[in-house]
A and B are shown apart, each in its own frame.
Chain A
Amino acid sequence: MDAILLQILNGLDKGSAYALIALGLTLIFGTLGVVNFAHGALFMLGAFCAVSLQKLLQLSTVTLSETEKNFLGQPLEIKTPYVVNWFGEATGQAIIDWSVPLAIIIAIPIMIAIGFIMERGLIKHFYKRPHADQILVTFGLAIVIQELVKHYYGANPIPTPAPDAFKGSLDFGVMLGFDPNVIIYPYWRLVYFMFAAVIIAGVFAFLQFTTFGMVVRAGMTDRETVGLLGINIDKRFTIMFGIAAAVAGLAGVMYGPINSPNYHMGMDFLVLSFVVVVVGGMGSLPGAVLAGFMLGILESFASMNEIKSIFPGIDQIIIYLVAIIILLVRPRGLMGRKGVMED
């Protein structure tokens, strides 16, 4: 029982990332009909917003030490971050410590802007082209973004730690009556799960309860009719592309402390997120979220020693295996709509 609870918890944060990326993918596909293979790169760019802010906050004044030497025997450079100079040691260090959550503030406008530029500058030219063309161009774009990030930030992962307040783990087991150390869960992963839940709820609320959202939903259902009513649906869809980019970016910002960001992290999530979208049902937002969490938890279960001892290597294929089974039983995915990608 404890092992099952443990793996459900482990699957939640991974599922959160899948769900957030898949949600953005589905938003773009549902509105613009574009299969965006650069969506993983948006997730990665979000993580690098956190990296960049962390670097910015650590910009320092340099003084030479009179006693300590560097590796070449020259006076050691002692760096004092500007924020420490400006706000004092305690406040300055606290700002640096909270750089990841603070990065949310800068990531939102940056990611929306990137989404706009990407959609207006490149992707809109491929609306009427076959899906294969869209996949090729967006995949190429993803590689370009990835290589640019590698050029400027290097190939190695860059640590972006969580604030000290969220270090360590919560002993869930004790709360549920188990022995200590049996079911533990890092605080930051708990934060990530709750953050994902808030973002997902926010996107659904935006689409459900605002006039803008209502028009977008109408456009997703029947773009032509909405256009005939004199509504500029293209403009709204462009905004949705920006919002989808922001959702992926925010997922990336908060993922930094879970795994140190590197230029390749978007690709690591991309393929699995597409599987999530297909399993959830192309164009279905609730389907994407449901499939994200479901596959995240299943992946965690598959890595259990007990399961791997019976089915060696199952942790590598479980998501694809489940995807095949679901698509055989429900060809449109869990919550897929009739007519989406069927013509």
Chain B
Amino acid sequence: MSERNDLTRRRVIKTGAAAATAAAATPYFFSRASAGNHTGYLNAPTGSSVTLGFNVPQSGPYADEGADELRAYELAVEHLNGGGDGGMMGTFSSKALKGNGILGKKVEYVTGDTQTKSDAARASARSMIEKDGAIMITGGSSSGVAVAVQALCQEAGIIFMAGLTHSNDTTGKDKKANGFRHFFNSYMSGAALAPVLAKNYGKDRKAYHLTADYNWGYTTEEAVKASTEALGWETVSAVKTPLTQTDFSSYIAPVLQSGADTLVLNHYGGNMVNSLTNAVQFGLRDKQVNGKDFQIVVPLYSRLMAKGAGANVKGIFGSTNWHWSLTDEGSKAFVKSFGTKYGFPPSQAAHTTYVQTLLWADAAERAGTFNPCGIAEALEGYKFDGLGNGATEYRAEDHQCFKDVLVVKGKDNPTSEFDLLEIVEITPRAQVEYAVDHPMFAGGDLGSCNPGA
């Protein structure tokens, strides 16, 4: 039998399968090998600069929030490179950052547009990782986007420093070893808000929830229900509203018929602006039910949203991660720096993204490497202060920051277009802390850090 006769059916299949596997894997190995440059982790910087990927909504309904995040990122990069007044780098308890870049490398950045859509956000994050060599991805103004991009970064081997994401799931059932969240969450909102609500409105209240029909809405409803019911409130009804809804009149009209005396709007962004506007239009706040004044509660506030709702926010309680009127040294330094550069005070979205950038840079300096696993190790269990929220800790077990939470109220007599919320209480960290295995956060597995190479 000649050699040519060795071309058996089995060999053809084997050879074909091997060739197909090699062909499919080549771009993957190529990109990994070239980007990682054989230094043990993906996108290791080889030149004199290091590239960060800022993935924010630059179009779509959260574009204003995204624009503010981007401003904060640009400010952080300026400060890291030694420009401006240094902002919160001067008040940060860690002194590892010197204003000479990170580990001696100049900080550069690329941006992506999440469009507040998970698919678009993943595509832009992937592009920044694969084409631009971004070594860290950060940003986002939605929990759906944060969870999706966090999962992508875990697979790719890149650290994800989450922006504005409030759902329990981000550091609960969807937590990842490569993902870190500075922003607070739904549980914390409920735990901070409930005592203030009970103090102001009493413990005998009947609540009616209108909840945005997606992940964040569910966890917020669950958290606020649990914390208010624990203080004696009764939940009369909880109605899901479509995320695309613009007119909430048909959902608000039956509220008074239900016997409820409090309406909880588990809505964010445009949903919150419209539902609150509609509720005020229907005169709910002028009504008396069960012998009490009817009240409205908005668990998660943002100044940008409050601006959209106008005078309708007056006197309405909610919670927030940070507010520019805080008087600690860190907040004052950040407001001065941001306000001088842009002419208006920063939003909470700007604050959390600025802080996340500094925290990642500081972790790299302390770890002495850009390796994601070294940075993750430096962030896990890290305790710091001076970044606007008082003493804060990145809990190692779930990568959630634990710190004080602000309970705020729509201001009755604002002095400017920015002066819309007033701080009612700074709820101490101990009151909003929970166990790692708390049922609201159950089901996830942090897994192990992926360096991407």
Binding site for B on A (CB under 8 A): 2-3, 6-7, 9-11, 13-14, 68, 70-72, 76-77, 150, 154-159, 161-162, 167-169, 181-182, 184-186, 188-189, 257-260, 262, 264-265, 268, 299-300, 303-305, 308, 315-316
Contact = CB atoms under 8 A, between A and B. Distances in A.
Contacts of A10: 249-250, 253
25 contacts: A9-B253, A11-B250, A14-B247, A71-B339, A72-B340, A155-B61, A156-B305, A156-B307, A157-B274, A157-B309, A159-B309, A161-B311, A169-B281, A182-B256, A185-B282, A186-B283, A188-B281, A259-B246, A259-B247, A259-B278, A260-B309, A262-B308, A299-B250, A304-B250, A305-B237
Given A159-B310, A161-B310, A184-B282, 5 more contacts: A155-B64, A157-B270, A258-B278, A315-B242, A316-B244
A283 to B, nearest CB: 28
B239 interface: yes
Given A155-B62, A157-B308, A159-B309, A260 B273 contact: yes
Contacts of A150: 59, 63
Interface string B230-271: 000000010100101011011101101100000000000010
Nearest to A265: B246
Nearest to A306: B254
Contacts of B418: 71
Nearest to A147: B59
B274 A259 contact: yes
Nearest to B242: A316
A264 B250 contact: no
Contacts of A185: 282
B282 A260 contact: no
Interface of B: 59-64, 237, 239, 242, 244, 246-247, 249-251, 253-254, 256-257, 270, 273-274, 277-278, 281-283, 286-287, 289, 304-305, 307-312, 324-325, 335-336, 339-340, 344-345, 415-416, 418-419
B254 A159 contact: no
A173 to B, nearest CB: 9
B254 A3 contact: yes
Contacts of B251: 303
A72 B61 CA distance: 29
Contacts of B61: 155, 262, 264
A72 B332 CA distance: 9
Nearest to B63: A155
Given A181-B289, A259-B246, A259-B278, A305 B254 contact: yes
A11 B250 CA distance: 8
A265 B270 CA distance: 11
Contacts of B253: 6-7, 9-10, 184
A305 B239 contact: yes
Query: Which 10 A-B pairs have CB atoms at the shortest separation, nearest pair first?
Result: A159-B310, A155-B63, A169-B283, A157-B308, A303-B250, A300-B250, A186-B281, A168-B283, A181-B256, A10-B250
A46 to B, nearest CB: 16
B257 A2 contact: yes
Nearest to B256: A181
Nearest to B339: A72
User: Which among B244, B246, B253, B344 has the highest number of chain A CB atoms within 10 Å?
Assistant: B253
A14 B274 CA distance: 14
A76 B415 contact: yes
A161 B62 CA distance: 22
A258 B87 CA distance: 41
Contacts of A167: 281, 283
Nearest to A171: B283
Contacts of B312: 159
Among A2, A9, A315: residue with most chain B CB under 10 A? A315
A196 to B, nearest CB: 14
Contacts of B270: 156-157, 262, 264
Contacts of A6: 253-254, 257
A260 B308 contact: yes
Contacts of B419: 71
B262 to A, nearest CB: 15
Given A156-B304, A156-B308, A305-B239, A258 B247 contact: yes
Q: Which of B278, B282, B304 has the most CB of A within 10 A?
A: B282
Nearest to B251: A303
Contacts of B59: 150
Contacts of B416: 70-71, 76-77
Contacts of A7: 250, 253
Given A156-B308, A168-B286, A260-B310, A189 B249 contact: yes
Contacts of A186: 249, 281-283
Contacts of B310: 159, 161, 260
A168 B281 CA distance: 6
A294 to B, nearest CB: 15
Given A68-B415, A72-B340, A189 B281 contact: yes
A189 B335 CA distance: 41
B415 A268 contact: no
Contacts of A68: 415
A154 to B, nearest CB: 5
A257 B340 CA distance: 34
B341 to A, nearest CB: 11
A285 to B, nearest CB: 24
Contacts of B242: 315-316
B287 A181 contact: yes
A291 B274 CA distance: 25
A172 to B, nearest CB: 11
A263 B305 CA distance: 15
